[in-house]
Amino acid sequence: MVYNGSGFGTAHEQPPTRAGKRLRIFVGEAEEWQGRPLYRAILEAAQRHQLAGATVLRGIEGFGPDHHLVSERLPDIADNLPLLIELVDSEEQIERFLPVLQDMVARGLMTLTPVTMVFPPAWQEQPR
């Protein structure tokens, strides 16, 4: 018997999984959309479209297509640190959400990656 997070079960029990997509959006912290931070606008749009999950990660250093290095080590050039927005859901939901980003993301890079979503046993109901 092994502990599986919600009780004891056999070592062969696997949590439920489902194929999905991860959309990563690389933008600068100073980017805006309609007068507010772009990352916040993207998160709010993802929430409205009921995507399964979203996270914003702040980078400590990086550069974009202009190859201008920004770093939190140097306060003079830390005005537009890199942000990574990760969204995860089914392939259909992510594909449906892409047109929403068309107008929002003027600069930046987006990548799509297939993922396997793993649902802990404690989840009563899996998202879509």
Q: Give the start-to-end residue ranges of the domains of the chain.
A: 18-117
- Long-range contacts, 96-103 (Cβ 8 Å, 24+): 96/49, 97/23, 97/45, 97/46, 97/49, 97/51, 98/23, 100/45, 100/49, 101/25, 101/42, 101/45
pLDDT tens series, the chain, 128 aa: 444 555 545 556 777 889 999 999 999 999 999 999 999 999 999 999 999 999 999 987 777 777 777 776 666 555 778 899 999 999 999 999 999 999 899 888 999 999 999 887 776 555 55
Prediction pTM value: 0.78
CA pair distance 27, 86, nearest whole angstrom: 11
CA pair distance 59, 104, nearest whole angstrom: 21
Residue type, 72: E
Residue range 18-117 in CATH 3.40.640.10: no
